[in-house]
A and B are shown apart, each in its own frame.
Chain A
C-alpha cells in the first residue's frame, strides 16, 4: 500500500516519529508515520496500538491501513487515516460554557468507552491528542502508551514515573503505581481538559492556583482552581472536578457508566 502513496508534505513530528501527509489512490488522504524501534518494549507498544486501532473501526479513532517492520534497520512504518479537523488545543475557545464542554465530553467519553470496555486505558489524554473533525466529532489519537490491563505490563516497576504527559497525568501515573491504572486514570485527564476548557488555563497552573509550585507539584498536592479572575465558578464544573480530579481513584467516578450518567445531566 505504501508504495502507492504519493507524499504531499511533511507534518509536525509526533514524539520520535516522522509524519508525512500522503495521498493513496483508493483511500484518499493518509498519514505515514515512520520511526525507530528502540527496544522490545517500544515495539510491543507499537504493535498493541496498531492491532487495537485496526480492530476498532470507529470514527472516534483513526483507521489503520498498514504496519511494516524493517527488522534489519530497526524501523517501523504505519499508514493510517488522515483525520481532517483541528486538534482541540487550537479550538479550545469554542468550548467555554459548561454545557458546551459537557457536550464535547459526552462525545469524547462515548469514544473512550469503546476502549474502556476492552479493559484499555488511554493514559495520554490531552488537548493535543483529540482532533475535532469538521462535523464536530472528536477523534482520539495516540494510543502509544495505552495500558492493556489484560496484557502484561510493559512499564518497568522501578521507573519513578509511569508513561505519561506529566501535566495531564493522574497521580498514580506520576508515582508509577501500576496496580492503580484503570479507566479512572483517564477520568483524571478528562477532568483537567474540562477545567482547562472552562478556565482557558490549566487548572493546576500555579498562576491560577495562586502558589509557586509547578503544575505537577500541584497535581501531587491536589491543588487546582475552579475559577479565575475572569471566569466565575460553575457548580456543575465544580462537581465534575470533584469526581475526577481526586488523588485517590476510589474518590473518582467508579466507571464509565457513572461518568456518562453525570455528564448526561448537563447536556
Chain B
C-alpha cells in the first residue's frame, strides 16, 4: 500500500520529506501551487503522483487555481453550470493536456462539489466530466491509468438509496482504472469515532475493490489505518488538519469567520493519536519515561528539548509525522487477515499505554484514546462480515 503526500499550504515540507525518501508520491493541490511553477518542478517529484484538479466549485478562483488553463473562468468569465453545455469538451481537453504535460502517474477526472447533491448530479458528471475526459484520453492515444475523483458525502454512506446510486454510478464507468475517494468529514472531533460511519466506509470501499477498481483514499488522518484493512492502493498523509480531513471551506474564497490557530500536536504511532503539546509537557513533568510513548525521528531530539517552542506553524511535528506515519503504513502486513489482526493488536496496545499515561496525566478527548474502542469494534465487525 502506498502513502501519498496530500499537499496544500506549506507543500515545501512535503516535497522536502519526499526528497528524503518519505512517501510514495505527491498529490498536488492547484489552489496552493501556481500552474507554471508545478510545470517547472523536477519530473521525479511528479511521476509517481497525481494532480487533484480541484474543480469542486466551478468559478471559485481560490489561491492559484486560476493559473490553471482548465480553470473555467479562463474559458469564459463568470462561468456557470449552463456554460458546461458547450465547453465541457474544451475543459476536458485542457485538463487532460495539463496533466499529461506534467507526466503524472495517473490522470484525474475532476468532480464538482454540491452541498446537497441534486438528482441530476451523476448524469451531469458523466456528461460534463467523465465522458469527455475519457474520450479525450482515447482520442489522443494517452496510455495512462485514469482515476475518477469522487467526494463521498456522509449521506451516501448512511442512506441505502444514495449509496446504491453512487456505487452504481462509479462502477458503471468502463474506461476508468480506479477511484480517488475523498470522504467528506463533518465531524467535530479530531478523530472519527462514529461506529456506523466507519463501518459503512469500509463496506463502501470493499464494493469498489470487489469491482476490481484501484482505490486511492485522499485526505486521510490516522483512520487510514482502519481503511487499510480494505486493501486500498494508497492512503494519504498531510500536514495541517485540513489536509487530513476534507471540507469544502478550504476551497471557498471567503472562509466564514476568523481562523483560530490550532494547538501544536505530535503524532504517536504507539498511541494512534495526535497529542496536544501541553499534555506532552505535563507528561515530561510527571512521567520520567514519557519519551517512550512517542516515536523516534531526526526531529524528535529538537522537539523534546525543554526550550522547544511548540507552534502549529513549525515544520518539525509535521515532518516527524510524515516519517512516522509512512513507516507505520509500510510496516503493515501485506495479507488482509494478518493486517487486520496486526491493527487490532496495535489498538489494544495503545489502549494499554493510555491506561498507564492516565495514571499520571489526564487527557482531553482530542488527545486521549477515546476513539480506540470504536475503531476496534469497527474492525471486528468488518472482519466478521468478511468471514461471514
- The chain A residues found within 8 Å of chain B, CB to CB, are 179-180, 182-184, 248-251, 254-255, 258
Contacts and interface: CB of A to CB of B under 8 A. Distances in A.
Contact of A248 (B168, B170, B212, B213): B168
B164 interface: yes
B318 to A, nearest CB: 38
B172 A248 contact: no
Given A254-B212, A258-B212, A249 B168 contact: yes
B122 A179 contact: yes
B367 to A, nearest CB: 39
16 contacts: A179-B122, A179-B123, A179-B169, A184-B172, A248-B164, A248-B168, A249-B168, A250-B164, A250-B168, A250-B171, A251-B207, A251-B210, A254-B174, A254-B211, A254-B213, A255-B174
Contacts, number: 30
A258 B174 CA distance: 11
Contacts of A179: 122-123, 169
A254 B167 CA distance: 11
A-B pairs with lowest CB-CB distance, top 10? A250-B167, A254-B211, A250-B171, A250-B168, A249-B168, A182-B172, A254-B171, A248-B164, A255-B174, A180-B168
Interface in B155-170: 164, 167-170
Nearest to B210: A251
Interface in B167-195: 167-172, 174
Contacts of B169: 179
Contacts of A251: 207, 210
Interface string B196-215: 00000000000100111100
A251 B209 CA distance: 11
Nearest to A248: B164
Contacts of A182: 172
Nearest to A180: B168
Contacts of A180: 168, 172
A188 B356 CA distance: 57
Contacts of B122: 179
Contacts of A184: 172
Interface in B122-143: 122-123
Nearest to A261: B212
Nearest to A181: B172
Residue among B123, B168, B213 having the largest count of chain A Cβ atoms under 10 Å: B168
Given A249-B172, A254-B171, A254-B212, 7 more contacts: A184-B172, A248-B168, A249-B171, A250-B170, A250-B207, A250-B211, A255-B174
A213 to B, nearest CB: 22
A180 B169 CA distance: 8
